[in-house]
């Protein structure tokens, strides 16, 4: 078996964090903006929080999700009442660990962001941001005490990972009533300020998509599906024709 190199870690984290983004309850739509060593991660402030847990199995190590004050406030002011950050962020932890193969995730622990980053020493962190602001960090490190740790094998589609030890099965239920912005995008274009100011009623703006092409369905800014625009009872609607999986967003 080969040991996990820093390049392996970066590659695994990039894919795992992209998948975890879909279940991360953020205060605003976010994207993965970069990967850095845990020691170079930005300060999320004293008002944020971190939820981390160890994992073992095909690989062993630690995973953490750190959110800033705005996202924490979103959890605390849920329409269903304050959500426990440990429960609310666990789906993201589970998604990261599930990408590593047959691993068991320990019970999550809430703590100080700086301490959580210190526990990721030698690991990497994915930055989740929007509008130039870092909203959250997704961190991963492998155990330095196990020199024979195998490079994690990515789980094949349809292959389930071992159930997380101690993980509350009601975790996703806590998030079902959290409201998220769903938008349908027909296309995009770029305009100069002069062209923008010259728009008048009746102006035609050409988009970068051919007529008849499917529209994108985004949840909190994350592309999740494509579909056809239809009319239902005089209202516009979208008929889903494709579910987008991580890594295939660029497909037409």
Q: In the chain, where are the structural domains located?
A: 6-175, 182-243
Res 248: pLDDT: 59
Contact 141, 52 (CB under 8 A): no
pLDDT in tens, the chain (252 residues): 345 677 778 888 888 889 888 888 877 778 899 999 999 998 887 788 899 999 998 888 999 999 888 878 877 776 666 778 888 889 999 999 988 888 899 999 999 999 999 999 889 999 998 888 888 999 999 886 443 334 444 444 444 444 444 444 445 565 666 677 888 898 889 988 888 888 899 999 988 888 888 999 888 778 888 999 888 888 889 989 988 876 656 554
pLDDT of residue 176: 63
* pLDDT score for 171: 53
First to last CA, the chain: 39
Query: Contact, 59 vs 150, CB < 8 A?
Result: yes
Using a cut of 0.75, tell me whether the model's pTM lies above it: no
Q: Where are the alpha helices (DSSP H) in 4-146?
A: 6-20, 69-76, 85-98, 113-119
> 6-175, what's its fold?
Chemotaxis protein chec (3.40.1550)
Task: Give dist(CA 205, CA 148) in Å, integer.
Answer: 58
Count H helices and E strands in the chain, helices first. 6, 11
Q: Which H, E and C letters describe 71-97, residue by residue?
A: HHHHHHCCCCCCCCHHHHHHHHHHHHH
pLDDT for res 247: 60
For the chain, give percent helix, strand, coil, nearest 5. Answer: 25, 30, 45
> Measuring CA to CA, which residue among 1, 34, 15 is closest to residue 154?
15
Bridge partners of 170?
Answer: none
Q: How far is CA 75 from CA 69, 72, 89, 244, 248, in A?
A: 10, 5, 10, 27, 30
Residue 6 to residue 124: CA distance in whole angstroms: 8
CATH architecture of the domain with range 182-243: Roll (2.30)
182-243 shares the fold of 6-175: no
């Amino acid at each position: 078996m080969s040991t996990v190199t820093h390049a392996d870690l970066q590659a695994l984290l990039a894919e795992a964090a992209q998948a975890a983004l879909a279940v991360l309850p953020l205060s605003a739509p976010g994207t993965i903006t970069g990967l850095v060593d845990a020691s170079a991660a930005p300060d999320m402030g004293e008002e944020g929080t971190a939820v981390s847990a160890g994992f073992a199995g095909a690989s062993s190590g630690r995973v953490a999700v750190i959110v800033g004050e705005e996202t924490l406030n979103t959890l605390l002011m849920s329409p269903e009442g304050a959500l426990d950050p440990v429960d609310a962020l666990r789906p993201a932890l589970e998604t990261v660990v599930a990408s590593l193969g047959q691993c068991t995730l320990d019970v999550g622990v809430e703590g100080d962001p700086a301490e959580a980053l210190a526990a990721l020493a030698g690991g990497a962190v994915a930055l989740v941001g929007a509008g130039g602001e870092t909203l959250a960090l997704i961190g991963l490190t492998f155990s330095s005490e196990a020199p024979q740790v195998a490079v994690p094998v990515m789980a094949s589609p349809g292959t389930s990972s071992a159930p997380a030890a101690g993980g509350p099965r009601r975790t996703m239920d806590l998030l079902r009533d959290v409201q998220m912005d769903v938008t349908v995008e027909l296309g995009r274009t770029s305009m100069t300020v002069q062209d923008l100011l010259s728009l008048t009623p009746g102006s035609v703006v050409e988009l970068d998509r051919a007529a008849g092409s499917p529209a994108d369905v985004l949840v909190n800014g994350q592309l999740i599906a494509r579909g056809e625009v239809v009319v239902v009872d005089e209202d516009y609607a979208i008929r889903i024709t494709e579910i987008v999986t991580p890594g295939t967003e660029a497909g037409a």
